Amino acid sequence: MLRVQDEHCRTPEAQPLTEEEISMMVLKPRSGYDLEEERLTLNFQTMLTFMEMLTSLITAAGVIVLCPLVKGLVPCSFLNNLFSIYEEYFCTPKITLFFRTDCGLSDNQMYDVASTYLRAKIVDSSKCLNVGKTVRQERPTFDIVPGAEVIDSFQGIKGLKWKLHAEKGFDGRECRRYFTLSFDKKLKEVVLESYLAEVISRSKAIQEAERVLKLYSRDFVYGTPGREWSSIVLEHPTTFEKLAMDPEQKRMLKVDLDKFISRKEWYKKVGKAWKRGYLLYGPPGTGKSSLIAAMANYLKFDVYDLDLTSIRSDSALRRIFLSTSNRSIMVIEDIDCAKLEDRDKEEASDQLILKKPKFTLSGLLNFIDGVWSSCGEERIIVFTTNHKEKLEKLDPALLRPGRMDVHVHMSYLTMDGFKQLVSNYLGINGDHQLLEVIEALLKNKQVTPAEIAEELLKSEDPNIALRGVVEFLEQK
């Protein structure tokens, strides 16, 4: 007989687990939606009897499969499950590790580690692969498909069996994925102490080698249990070199970022969260989003785009921040338009972060400091606004020293910025008779880089494009 002992519902007569039983513990998800961890212990003395029963059952199942008359009546998936349960738990004493997408409040990094590690293995060992390619990628990438297995080896040890599972909800739709790694009980020490370390380090090396920046947003995560963010590859072409901005301002920003990156020990010494806050302000179309892309490209940091108005509770905000990775930029755009004070009217709940007295932006920063000081490193947070003066009214404390570390004014286009745009769009480096005319016009006009970029896009012929700019400035 199989004795199943659940940590949460042990029978009154159950004895404390022996060391042998503890070492046999595996984590196993329950069926259906409920993935709560369940400890399953197998008792050797009772296992044989059960195996006999199971063998008979499987033999019967085999007969059913072979019988063409009834074959169609038995769902294939049922038999597959039966076989894999048999093989997984009863052929040899096994340990199975589960790598699920979530890990308490945050995403489980080990799921991503496993996914990256296995991607490098599957081309040789899998029969089914997902193939993908974005416009900018030269080569396709391959990914493991649900149900596929990868048998790995390590230091002469064979039979480390990985499998990707896709779990379906009651409506038949896939609701979450997880990997399992099954191995002989004898290998427990080597797997937990050496193999997993090797998997982590290989996956890190692969990620570094094929590093693509990602843009995370929360637009598509609703209905995806276990994930707070969805991502796409960030392929923004803007770099500091391409930005139409005061050259000295650009230089200082790069120095500031370099200094931030190199000061890990300093942040530790003074007991501050290793984060830096930037406030980018200026009229629409002056390049605030472009600057964020330039910062991400410069640092090779992922970007998280957070819409604050969609967050209902303190705990949701904490979960969302905890689900972001290190070496990333959190962007909160148009902070003055967030209408944060209105949210407390929508619902009366103790959880709401925006109850009166009003939620303040500096309060949010305190909150973020708290979350990140406990678990985040190399984090940048960027607020943008078109109206700094509105922000002063909304939350004056935000602009006090020590709140946002760097304030960057994105101004209307200057001649330096214009030369940069002309170089980007027309390949001209300060050498055209219309440049002087344009310089004189720019001194008295307020135009944004976005407006001029639009004009420059109209023709690849420098004479036509620059004449268009002159006309545009004269009419402005």
Ligand X SMILES: Nc1ncnc2c1ncn2[C@@H]1O[C@H](COP(=O)(O)OP(=O)(O)OP(=O)(O)O)[C@@H](O)[C@H]1O
Q: Which two tokens stand for residue 111?
A: 């799921």
Q: Given the complex with ligand X, which of 284 and 370 has the nearer CB atom?
A: 284
Contacts of 468 (CB under 8 A, 6+ apart): 455, 456, 458, 459
The reply on whether position 243 binds ligand X by CB under 6 A is yes
Q: Which x/- pattern over 105-144 shows residues binding ligand X (rule: CB under 6 A)? A: ----------------------------------------
The reply on whether position 376 binds ligand X by CB under 6 A is no
Q: Given the complex with ligand X, which of 426 and 450 has the nearer CB atom?
A: 450
Count of residues in the chain? 476
CB of 115 to ligand X, least distance (A): 33
- Alpha-carbon span 109 to 212, nearest angstrom: 17
Find out whether 28 and 40 touch, Cβ atoms under 8 Å: yes
The reply on whether position 287 binds ligand X by CB under 6 A is yes
The position carrying tokens 């074959």 is 71
Stretch that binds ligand X, among 28-36, 102-110, 237-245, 357-365 (CB under 6 A): 237-245
Q: Compute how many residues bind ligand X; rule: CB under 6 A.
A: 15
CB of 286 to ligand X, least distance (A): 5
Stretch that binds ligand X, among 12-20, 96-104, 134-142, 280-288 (CB under 6 A): 280-288
Q: Give per-residue burial for 2-35: e unless 16+ CB within 10 Å, then b.
A: beebeeeeeeeeeeebeeebeebbbebbeeeeeb
The phi, psi pair for 380, rounded to 5°, reads -120, 135
Q: Which of 367, 364, 370 is nearest to 395 (CA)?
A: 364
Stretch that binds ligand X, among 93-101, 242-250, 318-326, 353-361 (CB under 6 A): 242-250
The reply on whether position 203 binds ligand X by CB under 6 A is no
H helix runs in 67-184, sequence order = 68-71, 76-90, 109-125
Q: Given the complex with ligand X, which of 150 and 332 has the nearer CB atom?
A: 332
- Alpha-carbon span 159 to 475, nearest angstrom: 75
The reply on whether position 290 binds ligand X by CB under 6 A is yes
Find out whether 251 and 272 touch, Cβ atoms under 8 Å: no
The reply on whether position 245 binds ligand X by CB under 6 A is yes
Q: Which x/- pattern over 425-454 shows residues binding ligand X (rule: CB under 6 A)? A: ------------------------xx--x-
Q: Given the complex with ligand X, which of 179 and 425 has the nearer CB atom?
A: 425
| One of 5, 126, 180, 289 touching ligand X (CB under 6 A) | 289
CB of 317 to ligand X, least distance (A): 23
The reply on whether position 316 binds ligand X by CB under 6 A is no
Strands 328-332 and 379-385: parallel
Query: Which residues sit opposite 97 in a β-bridge?
Result: 181
The reply on whether position 285 binds ligand X by CB under 6 A is yes
For ligand X, the binding residues (CB under 6 A) are 243-245, 284-290, 386, 410, 449-450, 453
